[in-house]
Homo-oligomer: A and B are copies of this chain.
Amino acid sequence: MDNQRTLTRSQSSRLVALDWGTSSLRAYLVDANGTVLDRRAWPHGIRKVTDGDFAGTLARAIDGWDAGLPRIACGMIGSRNGWVEAPYCDLPAGAQALARRLVTAVAGDGVPLAIVPGLRRVDARGDPDVMRGEETQLIGAAIEGRPDGVFVHPGTHSKWALMAAGEIRAFSTFMTGELHAALLGHTILGAFQQAAAASASAPTPASAAAAPDWQAFERGVTRAHACDDFTHALFTVRSRVLEADLSPASVPDYLSGLLIGEEFRGARAAGWLPEGAHVTLIGDERLTVRYARAMDLLDVSFAHGPADVVVPGLVAIARHARLIPDAGR
């Protein structure tokens, strides 16, 4: 049986696709059509590979899969602190442009690993911005769903991207998730968490308690979106608790709403939501459910994008790089 299974798999598997970020390594065994035959998740993001042994980490992650398959990876593995730095690629950028800018690391078994570069952008104001990993998901989402429009990918560093014909034309980053964690963990706004121990262990909106306090969340969204004094609005989280206008247990969700509302206010001010704009929402469901709620409240037209978009993105880039044949062959 084992032999039979290995034989079947070696007939169809064509690519090892890796989503290798700061805190996790997800490995996918893929066939020529982009279908996932096997998947594995490891906690060995680049932050955990402290000895620089990326080759050994990779070997353990894909142990038992067919030897010699082409390999491709996106994410922080291509950053300055990763395996080999893949310099940022300028806009516009689609699968074809990224395929031309792949860099290569060589694993212990001599098989190369192609690493997708991140993107850089300098906006009209002269502000630089960067992404690394989300570009592959955006390309995957454009292949699996709409190829055009505004895409929002919430996270530690929330990304807004303008896509056209499957290419990324512009993008902007908001520090929403990381601010939420820093404010709750390291300012007076987290002091109330002694009284709400269950929520205190939640460093980000993603891992907040199972049932969010949607009323508190929506109050936060509305407050931040209506007013242009964010660092004052943050302090009112504390004064609301002191005035018994907000319960300590609701602070994480109110603050999550305040930060997401501020993200939408800032994005609107920066021109991301012109009249008639339509947003496609992709990423972790624990976050997209919050962004969807905020957009309902703020009358922003949106739809949920496809799930699991990193593999189609990696497959598209691998095809353009001729690591695997074109679809249909």
Give chain A's interface residues, CB within 8 Å of chain B. 88, 120, 122, 125, 127-130, 157, 172-176, 178-179, 181-183, 185-188, 223, 227-236, 238-240, 242-243, 245, 259, 262-263, 265-267, 269-270
Contacts and interface: CB of A to CB of B under 8 A. Distances in A.
Given A186-B185, A186-B186, A128 B236 contact: yes
A259 B231 contact: yes
Contacts of A269: 227-229
A176 B188 CA distance: 13
B183 A236 contact: no
A128 B245 contact: yes
A270 B231 contact: no
B232 A173 contact: yes
A232 B170 CA distance: 14
21 contacts: A120-B239, A122-B243, A128-B243, A128-B245, A130-B242, A173-B236, A174-B232, A175-B187, A176-B231, A182-B187, A185-B186, A228-B266, A228-B270, A229-B266, A229-B269, A230-B230, A231-B259, A231-B262, A231-B266, A232-B266, A232-B270
B230 A129 contact: no
A183 B122 CA distance: 23
Given A186-B186, A267-B229, A270-B227, A175 B235 contact: yes
Contact of A235 (B129, B238, B245): B129
B175 A186 contact: no
A157 B266 CA distance: 23
A146 B199 CA distance: 47
Contact of A173 (B174, B182, B235, B240): B235
A270 B229 contact: yes
A262 to B, nearest CB: 6
Contacts of A266: 228-232
A122 to B, nearest CB: 8
Contacts of A270: 227-229, 232
Given A183-B182, A262-B230, A269-B229, A120 B243 contact: yes
A225 to B, nearest CB: 12
Given A157-B235, A173-B236, A173-B239, 12 more contacts: A127-B239, A128-B239, A130-B239, A175-B234, A182-B182, A185-B186, A227-B269, A229-B270, A230-B262, A230-B266, A231-B263, A232-B266
Pick the 4 closest A-B CB pairs, nearest first: A229-B266, A228-B269, A128-B239, A128-B243
